[in-house]
C-alpha cells in the first residue's frame, strides 16, 4: 500500500472530523462568568402624594425635590446613568461600563413620569428606563402616561420598556398562552407605538418563575428586573437583576449608602 497516500487519507479524515466537530458541536457561548456591581434604582411615583394617600402610596412616592436632590448627589459623586441593555451587554460580553454606572427605573408608567421625572432627568443630563403597562395606556387610564408622552420621552433618549399588558401575577395562573399574550403582546404594542422593540422586562409585583423566564427569552428579552434588593448582578442570571428600592422615607444618607456602599 502506498504509504504517502494513506497518510494523506488519514490527514483528510482527521480534518474532516475536526470540521464535523466544529459544525455539529454546540455553539460555543461566551461562558465567562461575570460579576457586576451596578445600582439599579427602582422608583414608582415622582410626586408629592395627595393628602388622603394611604401608606402604600406614600411609601411609593418620592417628591420631585427629593428626586432632584438624589440626581444632584449622583452627579456630584461621578455617577453616569446607563441603560439596562448596557448592563445586559456588560454581563454577557464584557463590554465596558463607565466607572460609576447607575440605572434609574420607573415602574407602572404613572403620568408624573412625564410631568416630573422626565424634565428633571433632562435637566441633569441623565437617562431613565420607564416600565409601562400597555393596556393601561391603550385604555387612556387617568393618572398614567399617554403614548404621545411616551413617544416624546423616547425621542429625548428615555427608554420605554415592558411591564406586561395588564400587570398580573405571572407566576400564578398564567399559562403559556397567557404568558405569551402578556409579554409578546406588550412588546409588540410598544414597538408599534414607539418604533423601538423593548429588550427589557419588569416583572409585575416582582413575581416570576422558571417558565416566565423561558417565555421571556423566546420573546427576545435580554434583561429583566426583579424587586429583590441588591446591587450585584451575575452573568448567569440576566433575567433576575436586583434593584435598589427608593422610598418616600429614603433620606439622602440612606440613598448614598444603598448606591455606594451596599455590598449585597
Residues that bind Zn ion (CB under 5 A): 107-108
For residue 153, what are the CA distances in angstroms to 77, 198, 224?
26, 15, 21
Nearer to Zn ion, 110 or 114 (CB): 110
Stated as kind and residue range, the H or E segment containing 186 is helix 176-194
Q: Which three cell numbers stand for residue 131?
A: 416600565
Nearer to Zn ion, 186 or 235 (CB): 186
User: Which residues touch 189 (CB under 8 Å, ≥6 apart)?
Assistant: 134, 138, 165
DSSP E strands, 140-179: 159-162
Three-class SS of residue 22?
helix
Strand pairing of 200-202 and 241-245? unpaired
Nearer to Zn ion, 68 or 108 (CB): 108
Q: How far is the CB of 190 from Zn ion (least distance, A)?
A: 15
Q: How far is the CB of 199 from Zn ion (least distance, A)?
A: 19
Q: How far is the CB of 39 from Zn ion (least distance, A)?
A: 19
Q: Which residue, among 125, 113, 123, 126, has the nearest Cα to 62 in the 3D structure?
A: 113
Nearer to Zn ion, 84 or 90 (CB): 84
Q: How far is the CB of 167 from Zn ion (least distance, A)?
A: 6
| Other residues' Cβ atoms within 10 Å of the Cβ of residue 85 | 16
Nearer to Zn ion, 45 or 114 (CB): 45
Nearer to Zn ion, 74 or 117 (CB): 117
Q: How far is the CB of 201 from Zn ion (least distance, A)?
A: 12
Q: How far is the CB of 44 from Zn ion (least distance, A)?
A: 8
Q: What is the dihedral of CA 182, 38, 95, 120, to 10 degrees?
A: 80
In whole angstroms, what is the distance from residue 80 CA to residue 16 CA?
A: 51
Amino acid at each position: 500500500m502506498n504509504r504517502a497516500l494513506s497518510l494523506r487519507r488519514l490527514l483528510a479524515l482527521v480534518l474532516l472530523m475536526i470540521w464535523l466537530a466544529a459544525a455539529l458541536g454546540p455553539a460555543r457561548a461566551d461562558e465567562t462568568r461575570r460579576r457586576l456591581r451596578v445600582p439599579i434604582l427602582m422608583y414608582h411615583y415622582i410626586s408629592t402624594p395627595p393628602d388622603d394617600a394611604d401608606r402604600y402610596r406614600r411609601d411609593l412616592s418620592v417628591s420631585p425635590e427629593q428626586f432632584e436632590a438624589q440626581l444632584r448627589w449622583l452627579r456630584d459623586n461621578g455617577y453616569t446613568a446607563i441603560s439596562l441593555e448596557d448592563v445586559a451587554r456588560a454581563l454577557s460580553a464584557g463590554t465596558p461600563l463607565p466607572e460609576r454606572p447607575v440605572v434609574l427605573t420607573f415602574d407602572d408608567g404613572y403620568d408624573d413620569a412625564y410631568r416630573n421625572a422626565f424634565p428633571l432627568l433632562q435637566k441633569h443630563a441623565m437617562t431613565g428606563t420607564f416600565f409601562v403597562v400597555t393596556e393601561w395606556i391603550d385604555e387612556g387610564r387617568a393618572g398614567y402616561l399617554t403614548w404621545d408622552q411616551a413617544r416624546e420621552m423616547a425621542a429625548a433618549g428615555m427608554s420605554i420598556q415592558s411591564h406586561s399588558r395588564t400587570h398580573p401575577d405571572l407566576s400564578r395562573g398564567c399559562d403559556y398562552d397567557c404568558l405569551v399574550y402578556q409579554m409578546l403582546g406588550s412588546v409588540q404594542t410598544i414597538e408599534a407605538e414607539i418604533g423601538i422593540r423593548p429588550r427589557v422586562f419588569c416583572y409585575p409585583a416582582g413575581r416570576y418563575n422558571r417558565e416566565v423566564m423561558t417565555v421571556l427569552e423566546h420573546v427576545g428579552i435580554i434583561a429583566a428586573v426583579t424587586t429583590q434588593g441588591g446591587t450585584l448582578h451575575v452573568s448567569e442570571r440576566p433575567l433576575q437583576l436586583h434593584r435598589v428600592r427608593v422610598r418616600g422615607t429614603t433620606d439622602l444618607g440612606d440613598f448614598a449608602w444603598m448606591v455606594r456602599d451596599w455590598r449585597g
